[in-house]
Structure 1
Amino acid sequence: MAAAFIAAVPVAQAEMLEVIGTVYPIQEPDLMEAMQNRMAKMQESGEMDKLRKEYQEKMKGLVNEPPVAKQLSRTNEPRTFYYDPTLIVPYNVLDHKGDVLVPAGTRLNPLDTVSLNGALVFFNSADEQQMNYVRQYIKGAKQGSRLILVAGRTFDTMKALDHRVFFDQGAALIKKFGIEQVPAIVVQDGRRLRIDEVVPE
């Protein structure tokens, strides 16, 4: 039976097939070499210098005039209110032995240990009326003031006022203090901060 089965199976025949067309070796372009060639061409054409200058100007513009996160109007109705910086500890603070250092529910006020020297002056330097107010304010201030822009051009303002200027990035401070109008003056009043939104005159 086995011999009959084997005899019935057709014999496979192998044959060499002719080559159709030209055979080329597989070559993949070198990515790094392609990038270097592209960079060299951009350098030669001056395109690289152009892109570099455009990027530098863009960064300089963002530093000088950061995006405004919250638009504030000029103060029309003066307002005075207070901000209490007291924090309530939400859980027990333990030392390395597991002993409680600060119990949950403890009230901590940073003004008990750190004082706010001088005033925080928030304003929009794009408004000339506010700029004039700030000029007069810093001339008469008894202590150094920290000038904080909510809108305007930082470097131009520093030059115009001959004073160091900060920018409230992301409107973090005006949101924390609840400031809605500028100029606004923040000073320490005991264990609280007093905030005056003043009409620039």
Structure 2
Amino acid sequence: MIDVMKERVAKADWPDIQRRSGDALKRQFAKGPGLALPHAEEARVVLVDPTVEYPEDIKDPTTNTVLIKSGTKINPFDKVRWIRTLVFFDGTSSSQVGWVQQYLKEHDPKFVKLIISDGDVQKVMEQLHQRVYWANPLLVSRMGVGAVPSIVSQLGRHLRVEEVAIHE
């Protein structure tokens, strides 16, 4: 079995494998996360409660000590202040990318994280001259983002999700 594997490795066309892998990676970056979030049709603000309730005890695996009792509710904003603003937008929409450019002129980019629901992350980074991240379904769900563009920030013990209507 090992001899067969060694033979296949020796016969492999490694430059072609590397080229195909690189091409596949470029296609994935150009495609983006592909989350088809609807575009905001009207401006609205939603407050999202980030409180988590633990359905069962959380124990230290080494000592079996209960760290969090079942039924405990924890809101992270009781302990920490969230100084960043998340801006979710569609990287394939030129009007949304233009809106983000204007937003960055009006707000300190050090405190803004840009997150695209769709589009070529490299192209959008070059357009905005700022790091851009991909959205994922868990992040979108936890942040309460229902449409793009949306601005997510902390308001007291809640997440403030502001959907911005951009008429294309």
TM-score bucket (shorter structure):
0.7 to 0.9
Question: Residue 128 of structure 2 is aligned with which of 152, 161, 168?
Answer: 161
1:192 maps to 2:163: no
1:126 maps to 2:92: yes
Any gaps of 5 or more consecutive residues in structure 2? Answer: none
1:58 maps to 2:24: yes
Q: What count of residue pairs does the alignment treat as equivalent?
A: 163
Matches within 5 A, 1:71-150: 71-93=36-58, 100-142=66-108, 144-150=111-117
CA offsets per residue over residues 111-148 of structure 1, 9 Å max, x none? 12222212100001110100111011111114610000
Question: Residue 119 of structure 2 is aligned with which of 144, 152, 156?
Answer: 152
Q: How much identity, in percent, do the aligned residues show?
A: 30
The structure showing larger relative contact order (alpha-carbon pairs under 8 Å, at least 6 residues apart) is 2
Give TM-score, length-normalised by structure 1.
0.70
Alignment partners' CA distance in 2, 1:109 and 1:67: 29
Give TM-score, length-normalised by structure 2.
0.82
Asked whether the 8 Å contact 2:86–2:115 carries over to 1, the reply is yes
Question: Residue 38 of structure 1 is aligned with which of 11, 16, 29?
Answer: 11
Question: Please, what is the CA RMSD of the aligned residues?
Answer: 2.5
Alignment partners' CA distance in 1, 2:147 and 2:71: 34
